Amino acid sequence: MAFLVTGGCGFIGSNFVRLLRRAEPRQRVVNLDALTYAGNPANLSDLENDSSYQFVHGDISDRPLVDRVLSEHSIEAVFHFAAESHVDRSILDSGPFIRTNVLGTQTLLDASRAAKVRRFVHVSTDEVYGSLGEEGFFSETTPLAPNSPYAASKASSDMLVRACHHTHGFDTVITRCSNNYGPYQFPEKLIPLVISNIEAGLPIPVYGNGLQVRDWIHVADHAAGVLAAFRNGKAGEAYNFGGRCEKTNISLVKTLLNLMGKPETLIRHVADRPGHDRRYAIDCSKAERELGWQVRVDFSKGLADTVGWYRANPGWVETIRSGDYRRYYQSQYGHRGV
């Protein structure tokens, strides 16, 4: 018997695989990852000699491959992280988002049901709920109202997971988490982009007025939430996770500049993201009550540790800021980022 993690070479997946090896040391872990631009095997290089961990290079949309992985490894539970995950890229081209997030999830779900997997944990996002005004929080009963192609593709996958439980009685659990930060995050996302631009002496692009609000959570707390949902969640249910840590983008950028000893004159207000969601904020009381989960990482400490991690791993960032990332940065920001 073994656990399958999809997208384990990405940011959250790699942090989760590491947690799983510690928390369930007797379980074998298979990581199925297509190694897109965001997938980096170096994120799990510390597990190279771990005989209970195995990497399989492949696409979740490849049904024969998924069937083979599920049966060869007698997979008992699936933790589905694999996705195209960046809103701005989904605005530039939504095709890969539909292929992986919708068709890929459908393929994995159908194959998992056929293979009699015991539980399927689908890792989703708070962005499926759309945007909030000044007041209120997303709860699990908030209607889905996705605004970006990324959010729409994730909401579609949530609907397929829900329908699979309702129609076939398949044991599924959905997790919906707010914005993560921490080690191994690809520097297209706000926090690592700001840290690596500061390190490289580059300007910091802030979309529009920077007054959009995100609810930040450390990746370790999210990973613990996914594991708690697997262990204690009820089949067919969704659970929200958030950091109870709302920040405007502009205040977060200023905090990072301050932490890293750089002036606010590095800030550049650039064109706003089309359809930019104004505010995300999560009511995570259901997860606290029913899963025994709670946020553990204090934001100030988590952020300082994250800055420390990026500073201690310049080679990791440098490798990424080449090739495809250069082309993406140019098309997104209109100038070379490196």
Please list the active-site residues: 126-127, 150
Choose the one of ligand TYD, ligand NAD, none that binds residue 206, judging by a C-beta under 5 to 8 angstroms depending on kind: ligand TYD
Q: Which residue is nearest to ligand NAD (CB)?
A: 10
Please state whether beta strands 53-57 and 172-177 pair in parallel, antiparallel, or not at all (unpaired).
Answer: unpaired
CA quadruple 151, 154, 158, 163: dihedral positive or negative?
positive
177 lies in the binding site for ligand TYD (CB under 6 A): no
Coil, strand or helix at 247? strand
Take residue 93 and report the two structure tokens written for it.
């081209």
In the complex with ligand TYD, the residue whose CB is nearer, 45 or 209, is 209
Coil, strand or helix at 121? strand
Which of residues 15, 212, 240, 306 is near ligand TYD by CB under 6 A?
212
316 lies in the binding site for ligand NAD (CB under 6 A): no
7 lies in the binding site for ligand NAD (CB under 6 A): yes
Choose the one of ligand NAD, ligand TYD, none that binds residue 83, judging by a C-beta under 5 to 8 angstroms depending on kind: ligand NAD
Is there a contact between 127 and 90 (Cβ–Cβ < 8 Å)? Answer: no
Take residue 73 and report the two structure tokens written for it.
């490894």
Segment 254 to 273, residues that bind ligand TYD, using CB under 6 A? 273
In the complex with ligand NAD, the residue whose CB is nearer, 92 or 169, is 92
Nearest distance in Å: CB 201, ligand NAD: 25
Nearest distance in Å: CB 132, ligand TYD: 13
158 lies in the binding site for ligand NAD (CB under 6 A): no
Which of residues 29, 33, 182, 256 is near ligand NAD by CB under 6 A?
33
Residue that has been written with the tokens 């995300």 in this structure: 280
- From 62-70, 139-147, 205-213, 223-231, give the range in contact with ligand TYD by CB under 6 A: 205-213
Distance CA 93, CA 281 (A): 27
What residues are paired with 31 via a beta bridge? 5, 55
Nearest distance in Å: CB 205, ligand NAD: 18
Cα separation of the two ends of the chain: 45
In the complex with ligand NAD, the residue whose CB is nearer, 82 or 206, is 82
Coil, strand or helix at 14? helix
Identify the DSSP state of 127.
Answer: G
205 lies in the binding site for ligand TYD (CB under 6 A): yes
Summary count for the chain: helices (H), strands (E): 13, 12
Q: Which helix (H) or strand (E) holds 303?
A: helix 299-312
Is there a contact between 273 and 207 (Cβ–Cβ < 8 Å)? Answer: yes
Q: Which helix (H) or strand (E) holds 304?
A: helix 299-312
Distance CA 275, CA 273 (A): 6
- From 14-22, 99-107, 207-215, 238-246, give the range in contact with ligand TYD by CB under 6 A: 207-215
In the complex with ligand TYD, the residue whose CB is nearer, 83 or 190, is 190
What residues are paired with 205 via a beta bridge? 268
Choose the one of ligand NAD, ligand TYD, none that binds residue 226, judging by a C-beta under 5 to 8 angstroms depending on kind: none
Nearest distance in Å: CB 116, ligand TYD: 35
Is there a contact between 197 and 335 (Cβ–Cβ < 8 Å)? Answer: no
Is there a contact between 190 and 249 (Cβ–Cβ < 8 Å)? Answer: yes
Segment 87 to 116, residues that bind ligand NAD, using CB under 6 A? 100, 104
187 lies in the binding site for ligand NAD (CB under 6 A): no
**Which residues contact ligand NAD (rule: CB under 6 A)?**
6-7, 9-13, 32-36, 38-39, 59-61, 81-85, 100, 104, 123, 125, 154, 177, 179-180, 186
